[in-house]
Structure formats: structure tokens, C-alpha cells
């Protein structure tokens, strides 16, 4: 009982710390993504685009559950220049990530965070799923811990896509 209570308190502290770290309109961190396809991308490669970064793991039930909705969101908005990078956590074996992406035919970029540098860059992400929506100016406009409300997320993406870069 004490152990469960201690775990719940620790989880609450982590969640509160993550929420407190997020500052709306803060610039996205300068990080490098290494995709399963061997592509190297940086934050600068997404400048001028609306894009989403989703931290996930193959062992996370909520992450697995939300992948079809993420794929739908990507396919809906990709023709308008929307980008999505799903970043597998450091502890996720690369062969599991590759098999998952291939089996589910994920249409967006999937990156490995082997050195934990991307998660650290985004404020020390530890909980999955964690999602960041970034505008054309490279500002984080929304952070979601857990599965997003996809109707609201898609509405926000549509709004951002209709706003030109300044």
C-alpha cells in the first residue's frame, strides 16, 4: 500500500514538473532526429512548417492505441505541408521499433533516440506518449501528456496551417 502511494506521488510530481516546464510559444529545441530510414533531420529542417513530435514506446499501450489516429492526422494534413516525427524512447529496442513501424505501415517519419538527446532537448521527456505541436515559426504551441483529443488537435493543426509564417 505504501509502495503504491509512493509511486502515485512520484508520478504526480513528474507530471506537475513536466507541465511546469512547458511554456507556450517557447521555441522548439535544436535537436537532431535519426530516422529509421537513415535520414538525419534537425529542428531547422521543419522551419516554415507546422509539425508534431510524438514521444512513444512499443511497450506503451496508449502509444500503440493512438498510432492509427496519428497516421490519420498525418495523412489528412501532409498534403498541406504538415510533418510528424514519432520519436521512439531510448529504452525501446531499435528492432522492435522498426518492426512496429513496418508492420503498421506508419506513413510518417519514425526516429530513434538512442542517446536520449531528443527527449532531453524537449525538457527531459520520460512519460509516453508525450506530444508537442510546433507552429511555422518553430514555437511549441501545445504539449500533451497522454493521448491527445484528436478532434481538438486536428482543429488546432488546421488553424495553424491556415496561418502564414510571419
pLDDT in tens, the chain (166 residues): 666 655 555 444 445 444 434 566 899 999 999 999 999 999 999 999 999 999 999 999 999 999 999 999 999 999 999 999 999 999 999 999 999 999 999 999 999 999 999 999 999 999 999 999 999 999 999 999 999 999 999 999 999 999 765 5
3 is a domain residue: no
Write down the pLDDT at residue 19.
44
In a domain, 14, yes or no: no
Per the domain annotation, does 19 fall within a domain? no
86 in any annotated domain: yes
Q: Residue 123 has what pLDDT? A: 94
Long-range Cβ contacts of 23-26 (<8 Å, 24+ apart): 23/140, 24/140, 24/141, 24/142, 25/139, 25/140, 25/141, 26/139, 26/140
In this structure, is residue 4 part of a structural domain? no
For residue 63, which of 144, 122, 154, 153 has the smallest C-alpha distance?
A: 144
What is the reported pLDDT for 55?
98
CATH code at position 135: 3.40.30.10
Where are the extended beta strands (E) located within 57-129? 83-88, 109-112
Given this model, what pLDDT does residue 25 score? 84
Number of domains in the chain: 1
Flag whether 17 is in a domain: no
User: Given this model, what pLDDT does residue 163 score?
Assistant: 77
In a domain, 5, yes or no: no
Query: Domain limits at 151?
Result: 24-161
Task: Say if 77 falls within a structural domain.
Answer: yes
Amino acid at each position: 500500500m505504501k509502495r503504491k502511494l509512493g509511486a502515485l506521488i512520484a508520478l504526480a510530481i513528474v507530471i506537475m514538473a513536466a507541465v511546469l516546464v512547458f511554456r507556450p510559444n517557447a521555441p522548439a529545441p535544436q535537436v537532431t532526429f535519426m530516422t529509421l530510414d537513415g535520414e538525419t533531420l534537425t529542428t531547422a529542417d521543419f522551419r516554415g512548417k507546422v509539425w508534431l513530435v510524438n514521444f512513444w514506446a512499443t511497450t506503451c499501450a496508449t502509444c500503440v492505441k493512438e498510432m492509427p489516429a496519428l497516421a490519420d492526422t498525418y495523412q489528412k494534413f501532409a498534403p498541406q505541408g504538415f510533418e510528424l516525427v514519432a520519436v521512439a524512447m531510448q529504452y525501446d529496442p531499435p528492432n522492435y521499433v522498426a518492426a512496429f513501424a513496418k508492420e503498421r505501415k506508419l506513413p510518417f517519419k519514425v526516429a530513434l533516440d538512442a542517446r536520449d538527446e531528443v527527449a532531453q532537448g524537449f525538457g527531459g521527456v520520460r512519460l509516453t506518449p508525450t506530444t508537442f505541436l510546433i507552429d511555422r515559426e518553430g514555437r511549441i504551441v501545445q504539449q500533451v501528456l497522454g493521448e491527445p483529443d484528436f478532434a481538438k488537435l486536428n482543429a488546432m493543426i488546421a488553424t495553424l496551417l491556415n496561418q502564414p509564417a510571419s
